[in-house]
Amino acid sequence: MLKCYSDAACDTMEHNMDLHKALILGIESSCDDTAASVLEVNPKGSKIKSSIVYNQFNLHKEYGGVVPEIAARAHAELIDVVVEKSLKTAKVAMTDINAIGVTAGPGLIGGVLSGLMFAKGLSVSTNKPLIGVNHLAGHALTPRLTNKVAFPYLVLLVSGGHCQFLIVHNYNEYERLGGTIDDAPGEAFDKAARLLGLQQPGGPAIEEAAKKGDSNRFDLPRPLLNREDCNFSFSGLKTALMRKQAGLMDKQGGLFKKDVSDLSASFQQAMHDVIIEKSIRAIDLYSKFTNENQTFAIAGGVAANEKIRYSLQKVCKTKKIDFLAPPLELCTDNAAIIAYAAAERFLHGAYDDTTISARPRWPLDNKKPAILGSGKKGSKA
């Protein structure tokens, strides 16, 4: 039995929550996407009534990475428009909303502040509960938004800003098995693409170029593979690629199309091998916690890579555990996942108030020492 949340008037009464539904407004602004979403949660599941994402890619592309000040200003300028559009698309008014969930970190602090300050103002002016969401929890809980996956499950976040294995024990308890000590994998794909003269975002461009390439032509390292843990390092791989590219430039004065394809294929193969091997280790660790209804889920832009996705699927089949890859629009940054993480807290009555602070770093697992990786999209908390 939980407190009824369908009507502010029954705040003091106890109701069976199963009788009700709630509408959560989600707001996301931690990196380069300004996003808002209206999510309906009810006992049967969740329904995304709207999910609006404004990407800032064009604002940053000439700088080769996200410029925090530009990002923060763009979020501040757009956030009210995006929220309004999400309400309009969902055909609801602010009065219908039961709670506001907003990313309170980790991320680029200016961007997080833009969203959080807006949400605080909205919460005070409309008298709706405020829930400050850990952005990483949004990603980690996505399998429950899409598939009602049971706890505990294993999730691998692989994007331009994140890289970690987490066992999700419940909505509020996460155990990090490993993560990157430097770049995130998407960041490595992006840097590699830039080096090879391919377009951004680099992951899809490398994947495309690799299709015609020979992955055995260049011998690139598989960083940290000889270490028994689930940690990653991608910056040395990028440097190794740079050396191969520079060698060809010295010898030939430039790169032929075949060179770009072969370098892309060799780079993708190295990324793939490390991610697959570390995933096998993470699954083995996870299997010590539970052998019932086991699920391994991936999230983040790099999860779109067909080669990596296919191999992870095969690994899970061999290990006899369920494999889940949420649709891409929910793997990449959006506000529906923030609304869902807020909904899980809302159902447990875990609200915040306006004293909540924006946090540039916010590890989901605070029992383990922080991984100090940091890159173009901010800290890897």
Contacting positions for Zn ion (CB under 5 A): 333
Per-residue contact track with ligand KG4, 277 to 316, x per CB under 6 A? -----------------------xxx-xx-----------
* Shortest spacing between CB 260 and Zn ion, in angstroms: 29
| 164 torsion bin: left (phi>0), alpha (psi -120 to 50), beta (else) | beta
By beta-carbon proximity to ligand KG4, the closer residue of 178 and 378 is 378
By beta-carbon proximity to ligand KG4, the closer residue of 23 and 302 is 302
Question: Rg for the chain (alpha carbons), in Å?
Answer: 21
* Shortest spacing between CB 335 and Zn ion, in angstroms: 11
By beta-carbon proximity to ligand KG4, the closer residue of 143 and 300 is 300
Alpha carbons within 13 A on the beta-carbon side of 11: 5
Positive or negative CA dihedral for 322, 323, 327, 332? positive
Give the residue closest to Zn ion by C-beta: 333
* Shortest spacing between CB 185 and ligand KG4, in angstroms: 7
- Cβ neighbours around 261 below 10 Å, total: 22
**What part of residues 173-232 is at the interface with ligand KG4 (CB under 6 A)?**
186-187, 189-190, 201-204, 207
**What part of residues 31-50 is at the interface with ligand KG4 (CB under 6 A)?**
31
* Shortest spacing between CB 214 and Zn ion, in angstroms: 33
Question: Using CB distances below 5 to 8 A depending on partner kind, what does residue 26 bind out of Zn ion, ligand KG4, none?
Answer: none
Question: Using CB distances below 5 to 8 A depending on partner kind, what does residue 189 bind out of ligand KG4, Zn ion, none?
Answer: ligand KG4
Residue 33, C-beta contacts closer than 8 angstroms, at least 6 positions apart: 53, 54, 55, 56, 332, 333, 334
Q: Which residue has the tokens 């369908």?
A: 6
CB 27 within 8 A of CB 358: no
Helices then strands, counting H and E runs in the chain, come out as 11, 14
By beta-carbon proximity to Zn ion, the closer residue of 33 and 40 is 33
* Shortest spacing between CB 318 and Zn ion, in angstroms: 29
* Shortest spacing between CB 275 and ligand KG4, in angstroms: 10
Cα 379 from chain centroid? 13
By beta-carbon proximity to ligand KG4, the closer residue of 129 and 185 is 185
By beta-carbon proximity to ligand KG4, the closer residue of 130 and 275 is 275
* Shortest spacing between CB 339 and Zn ion, in angstroms: 14
* Shortest spacing between CB 139 and Zn ion, in angstroms: 6
By beta-carbon proximity to Zn ion, the closer residue of 67 and 263 is 67
Question: Using CB distances below 5 to 8 A depending on partner kind, what does residue 345 bind out of ligand KG4, Zn ion, none?
Answer: none
Per-residue contact track with ligand KG4, 312 to 351, x per CB under 6 A? --------------------xx------------------
How distant, in Å, are the alpha carbons of 75, 96, 115, 171 from that of 39?
A: 21, 12, 18, 17
297: β partners: 155, 324
How distant, in Å, are the alpha carbons of 216, 269, 346 from that of 255?
A: 18, 20, 55
By beta-carbon proximity to Zn ion, the closer residue of 106 and 129 is 106
| Relative orientation angle of helices 202-210 and 185-195, to the nearest 10 degrees | 70
Residue 292, C-beta contacts closer than 8 angstroms, at least 6 positions apart: none
Question: Using CB distances below 5 to 8 A depending on partner kind, what does residue 304 bind out of Zn ion, ligand KG4, none?
Answer: ligand KG4
CB 6 within 8 A of CB 22: yes
Q: Which residue has the tokens 């009534």?
A: 49
How distant, in Å, are the alpha carbons of 25, 53, 63, 132, 190 from that of 73?
A: 22, 16, 16, 21, 24
**What part of residues 156-175 is at the interface with ligand KG4 (CB under 6 A)?**
159-161
**Binding stretches for ligand KG4 (CB under 6 A):** 31, 159-161, 186-187, 189-190, 201-204, 207, 300-302, 304-305, 332-333, 377
